[in-house]
Structure 1
Amino acid sequence: MDIILRKVRLEDNQPLVDVGLCAGKIAAIAPELGMDAAEIIEADGRVLIPGLVESHLHLDKALIADRKPNRSGTLQEAITVTAALKPSFTKEDVRERAEKALQMIIKNGATHVRTHSEFDPAGGFTGFKVILELKEKYKHVIDMQVVAFPQEGIMKAPGTEAMMHEAVKMGADVVGGIPYNDFSANDHIDLVFEIAKKYQMPLDFHQDFKDDIAGTSIEYLCRKTIAEGYQGRVSVGHMTSLGAFPPDQLHPLLELMAEAQINVMCLPATDLHLGGRNDTYNVRRALTPVRALNKAGVNVCLGSNNIRNAFTPYGNGDLFQIAMLAIPTAHLGGADDLPSVLPMITTRVAKALNISNYGLKEGCNADVVLLDTKKVSDAIIDLPDKLYVIKGGKVIIKTQRQTERRYSI
């Protein structure tokens, strides 16, 4: 074996096991592996989880909050501020910021990331090319899916449609969309489906990012997904308007989303910050209704969206903090709901992103994280250190923290 992790906990109320890693795979899981390895990690009952999966991130817009603040805290000003800053982005600037953000999420246990990278006729492919370069540069420590993202719309920004095709040919993995930021949401959806079908690629939309239900297009998107046979291959980020639907309209819509197998990326750090800004009292949480989606059988994930920019002026790339934020704000702290949270940054995202050979079984890729906690059920709420981050069977991050107690009782 290359690495053996001795006495790890994979499940609560189950015996501890040894996990052997060899040639980039989980080669053996047994109560005791009676063999040697190049490296032995004594886990002493600590929890082992599969590598974290960042479902929705904008690397090219990270770490610009101090350049032009969003003083109103609204989505509209965030879009306006960022659009004003984009002409100043150089390749060197995007590379420096994106690498810092990448290193943040890697340090915090992410072994996979889907990043939305934008372009438009005014700014060209400056940032997009950098993200593709970083995908190659960092491929040995993190798997990156790049979304071709038309932030400024397609029809309202002439020339973007041709750029979408060019982005796919350059190396994009996913076709992105933003129906609410175009002349016609339905026409926008039709167009990006046409592009995705041409290249047989999955779709990921910024969808119905608003506090109310006026002008929402999720029903159209679901019916389009079913009609095109794209069930399970369409993801939506934000989807905050769902929280405003009355129950008699919401439940049929959730059933339709489940039928279409839509993946929903809840982005609490951003959506809580930007949502409800026009409410003068009883301010809404402005999150997609995670519990209702779970109950309807919709695959819900959690993601960061942005790190320190006009949309989210904080964050350190730690998905555990995103998950911890979701627990009280989405009412996920109950005994029946808390177990669903860890999968929202691991297995559920792997399903949404169609990541193969992912998990904690023999034969899966050796992408794992050892946590400094001894209960799986406490894995999020303890906010534990990620003691070892292992990618492809190699230790890429090791964290050691020493606390000295200087009091006595």
Structure 2
Amino acid sequence: MTVFLRNVRPWGEAASDVTLEDGVIASVKPVRADTAAADQAPTGAGVVEGNGRILLPSFSDVHVHLDSNRIGLPFRPHTGAPGVWGMMLNDRQNWRNAEASVADRATACLGAMIERGTTRVRTYVQVDVDAGLERFEGVLAAREAHRNRADVEVIAFPQAGLLREGGSAEVLEEALKLGADVVGGIDPCSLDRDPVKHLDIVFGLAEKYGVPVDIHLHEPDQLGLFSAQLILERTKALGMQGLVTISHGYGLADLPAGQLQELIDEFAALDISMATIAPAGQPLPLQQLAAARVRVGLGQDGQRDYWSPYGNADMLDRTWQLAFTSRFRADELIEHCVAVATVGGASVMNPQAPRLASVADRPGLNAGDPAELVLVEGDTVTAAVMDRLPGRTVLHSGQVVADGLELV
């Protein structure tokens, strides 16, 4: 089916009419003042009235935990203890008592994300000796419920580590046998205290099942650098260039300038991508990463779950947070945050997709690009980030899937 977007502003620029065919952008043409609006749409095309709204690539949430979210449920006091292990135990003590099942919560949250403009998702699912595959199966059900509205990759994630509890690696492998798209890892030094064995398991499973790797790295400063170097070694040894993501990387931003630039250059050489959630504290060096053409995406992490009361299913809101925590004020840099949240994340999920080449790069809206799109209100892209207005229309594979913050 052909879809015609009338009077939209790609990346906030001049008004254009955009034609979508077979799930891709077929043409982008300036609005012609001398032609009647009705005559510009291809015969038989479905018409979406842009009304001068800004056209952007749809959002890509590449770091979210759908299995733990409590979006839409009664707000509860935060009861987590400090640290990854303490937070994990708090989640373990409470998740089965939620007012709705994992499948229902994940389905509702994913729907809310789509309504707000996200059509590409990479979600972690906790698989361990406590949950087994229960949470994994719940998220698969959510993906199936929205199969025509979003592309969803599922990461089998050992939130409790792989070495602290017997049987952890076996549960992780079982999830891969059942179709997990990515294998996860976490803090190989500080959580499992045996980084070589932890990473051997993770990369061994990745090689065995032919899947990418995504590793949570909360470790600070030099410890984080050490773990990153071990990840680099395995990526190179196994020829997994383009198939490894480091998420968070909190401590890397605290490295001395020389060490940080050397590490970024190594990431670029092995095509290792990064995912951030725009945390408080020292931000990722987005400008340096873009200059090196390192793929970087954005995600919401947990959402009002047993780890944190934050999160609202809105990637435009998280884009504001990325700009704010990065201390950006210039329009070009705030727009770069939008690029990270949209096409940046798409390139994390698919290393063959266009990647950002600089902070001024604005790909994703040219003929031949996937018709994964969102229309937002605003005078400029920066204004859209600041105001985060509800007048949005979301398209997946060239079809409208949500409008006015409601699923179609």
TM range (shorter): 0.7 to 0.9
How many residue pairs align between the two structures? 384
The residue number in structure 2 matching 1:341 is: 337
- Amino acid in the other structure paired with 1:8: V
Deviations 1:170-200 (A, max 9, x none): 1111111112421312321122111111121
Does 1:165 pair with 2:178?
no
**Structure 2 alignment gaps of length 5 or more:** 32-39, 355-363
Quote the residue 2:88 is aligned against: 79
Equivalent runs, 1:221-240 vs 2, <5 Å: 221-240=231-250
Unaligned runs of at least 5 residues, structure 1 = 273-284, 402-409
RMSD of Structure 2 on Structure 1 (CA): 2.7
TM-score w.r.t. length of structure 2: 0.85
The structure 2 residue matched to 1:243, chosen from 231, 249, 253, is: 253
2:366 corresponds in structure 1 to: 361
Question: Aligned with 2:378: secondary structure?
Answer: coil
- Counterpart of 1:10 in structure 2 is 10
| Residue 291 (structure 1) shift | 3.8
Large movers: runs of 4+ above 4 Å:
64-68, 71-76, 86-90, 355-358
Counterparts of 1:305-320 in structure 2, within 5 Å, are 305-320=301-316
Which of 63, 67, 70 is equivalent to 2:79? Answer: 70
Contact 2:275 2:298 in 1 (8 A): yes
Aligned to 1:397: 402
Identity, in percent, stands at 30
Paired amino acid for 2:372: D
1:140 partnered with 2:154: no
Mapped partners of 1:97, 1:34: distance in 2 = 40
Q: Deviations over 1:215-243 (max 9, x none)?
A: 64011112221222112211111110112
Describe the superposition over 1:105-154 as per-residue Cα deviations: whole angstroms up to 9, x where unpaired: 11110011000011112321111111112222211011110001111111
What is the letter of the counterpart of residue 138 of structure 2? V
Residues 54 and 110 in structure 1, CA contact (< 8 A), matched pair in contact too: yes
Written as runs of structure 1 = structure 2, the 5 A alignment for 1:166-245 is: 166-178=174-186, 179=188, 180-207=190-217, 209-214=218-223, 216-245=226-255
State the 1:289 CA deviation: 3.6
Between the aligned partners of 2:314 and 2:306, the Cα distance in structure 1 is 19
Whole-Å separation in 2 of the counterparts to 1:339 and 1:286: 20
What secondary structure sits across from 1:115 in the alignment?
strand
**Aligned residue identity for 1:310:** Y
**Which of 362, 372, 388 is equivalent to 1:383?**
388
Distance 2:372 2:353 in 1: 10
Do the aligned partners of residues 28 and 249 (structure 1) sit closer, same or farther apart at CA in structure 2, a change above 3 Å counting? Answer: closer
- Could you tell me how far apart the structure 1 residues matched to 2:241 and 2:405 are? 44
Q: Please say if 1:44 is aligned against 2:20.
A: no
* Distance (Å, rounded) in 1 between the aligned partners of 2:295 and 2:242: 9
Distance 1:223 1:157 in 2: 26
Letter in 2 for 1:232: G
Displacement of 1:356 after TM fit?
6.9
Indicate the SS of the match to 1:193.
helix
Letter in 2 for 1:31: P
Task: Quote the Cα distance in structure 2 between the aligned partners of 1:357 and 1:230.
Answer: 17
What residue is the counterpart of 2:37 in the other structure? none
Name the aligned partner's letter for residue 17 of structure 1. Answer: S
Q: 8 Å contact 2:95–2:306 — kept in the other structure?
A: no
State the alpha-carbon separation in 1 of the partners of residues 85 and 75 from structure 2: 18
Give secondary structure in 2 for the equivalent of 1:99: helix
Contact 1:120/1:152, CA 8 A, preserved across alignment = yes
Q: In the alignment, which residue of structure 2 is the partner of 1:256?
A: 266
1:71 Cα deviation from its structure 2 partner: 5.8
